[in-house]
Amino acid sequence: MGFSYQNHILHAESVAIADLMKTYGSPLYVYSRTDIEYNWHLFSHAFGIHPHLVCYAVKANSNLAVLSVLAKIGSGFDVVSNGELERILLAGADASRCVFSGVAKTNIEIKRALEVGIFCFNVESMAEMIRIEQVAKEMSMQAPISLRVNPDVDAKTHPYISTGLKENKFGVDIDDAIPIYKMAYNSPYLKVKGIDCHIGSQLTKISPFLDALDKVLELVAKLGKLNIHVTHLDLGGGVGIKYDNEQTIDINAYISSILDKVGSLKIILEPGRAIVGNAGIFVTKVEFLKQNSDKSFAIIDGAMNDLLRPSFYQAYHQVLPIDENAEGIDAHWDLVGPICETGDFLAKNRRLSLSEGDYLALMSAGAYGSTMSSNYNSRPRVAEVMVLGSQYTLVRERETIQDLFNKEYMIND
């Protein structure tokens, strides 16, 4: 696939990572366009002729290059803010293939989404439904809506990325959905389109998705009896990827088990991680090696501000040397960054042969890598590159020190 060793040298498609580091410096995010397109097609093809929309979840990686590549192959998008909406429009997306999720859409966001003609709002509460109705009324329009229900299913993933339990802030309790649908059905400014749920992220088994789907289908039947007919089901994102050797979901099996249950209802999915996660890596340089009697630290130039997942979720990213034959000190290393926090690590206890100046790749960093980065410790955000075959393009410039101050003002008295 996109990243592999060729003659013991790590490549992105046909480009040696070392060449990219020479051209663009370190640290660096590198994406494989072939992988991104391949992953999206896996979802799309699995539906066959069944009506469907694969709405890439922009939050996973919102780089304009990623979005434009997906827009060109006909992807829909799942956005959660005006920023994401404007990004996809700039990237050439067709708004009528986009859904708008998120628990607190502002009046401005609702108005803009209606102006550009999005496919559907995924509404998260009665209060939000009333706000959408109000904006649609002011614009003399009908807002397409789907209610995000909370099916109370345990996604069995990290608690921070589990979203379908009653204790989570998302959606409305599935048992409270009917009065909200009745209100929407009776409003001249709202058009009931579907039901939405998203139970969590990085799921590695199909069964929680199917449990949620069963509950959603019960609601479809109850609504049908009230003459409220939905035309689509949006089952959210959440398909997990391989970070290590874990077993994960077979996308064909997942989609065919959905299709077995849903009759002719159109299906929307919102995969983020499964499209871009394995299609990106984060490359960092070993600055210093520091060993004491208990610990071996490789101090790298990348940090938690660049790739937050290890510090935030104790997430595992595989670490690969960019030269498989590189010789150095063989030990179990903790990869730690330059930030003044004990939690600033990208990997722990990894057996590697290291020398100062080596480059290391943190694999599967394409999703929730760059989008969760920050300027903590006044570190400029890193550059991003997209590779296709033997071609490569800079898709985000490295920030400069000046960029860090651009929007700030001193007090001059």
356 annotated as belonging to a binding site for a ligand: no
Cα 228 to Cα 180: distance, rounded to the nearest angstrom: 12
Cα 395 to Cα 274: distance, rounded to the nearest angstrom: 21
Beta strands in 105-205 (DSSP E): 120-123, 143-150, 172-173, 190-196
Question: Left if phi > 0, otherwise alpha if psi is -120 to 50, otherwise beta: which for 127?
Answer: alpha
Beta strands in 109-231 (DSSP E): 120-123, 143-150, 172-173, 190-196
Residue closest to ligand LLP, measured at CB:
237
236 annotated as belonging to a binding site for a ligand: no
User: Is residue 167 within 8 Å of 143, Cβ to Cβ?
Assistant: no
- Residue 280 binding ligand LLP, by CB under 6 A: no
Cα first-last separation, the chain:
59
Site size toward ligand LLP, by CB under 6 A: 22
Build a one-symbol-per-residue string for 20-59: x at contacts with ligand LLP by CB under 6 A, - elsewhere.
-------------------------------------x--
98 carries an active-site annotation = no
- Residue 206 binding ligand LLP, by CB under 6 A: no
Beta strands in 244-375 (DSSP E): 266-269, 280-291, 296-300, 319-321, 329-336, 345-354, 359-362
84 annotated as belonging to a binding site for a ligand: no
Burial of 287 (C-beta count, 10 Å sphere; 0-12/13-18/19+): middle
287 annotated as belonging to a binding site for a ligand: no
* Among the listed residues 80, 96, 192, 85, the one whose alpha carbon sits nearest the alpha carbon of residue 142: 192
- Residue 161 binding ligand LLP, by CB under 6 A: yes
Q: Which of 78, 109, 128, 301 binds ligand LLP (CB under 6 A)?
A: 78
- Residue 87 binding ligand LLP, by CB under 6 A: no
Interface with ligand LLP in residues 223-252 (CB under 6 A) = 236-239
- Residue 164 binding ligand LLP, by CB under 6 A: no
Q: Which of 33, 193, 198, 350 binds ligand LLP (CB under 6 A)?
A: 198
Catalytic residues: 340
Note the residues at the interface with ligand LLP (CB under 6 A). Answer: 57, 60, 78, 101, 161, 198, 201-202, 236-239, 270-274, 309, 313, 367-368, 372
Q: Mark the binding-site residues for pyridoxal 5'-phosphate, compressed into ranges.
A: 238, 270-273, 368
Q: Mark the binding-site residues, compressed into ranges.
A: 238, 270-273, 309, 313, 341, 368
Q: Mark the binding-site residues for substrate, compressed into ranges.
A: 273, 309, 313, 341, 368
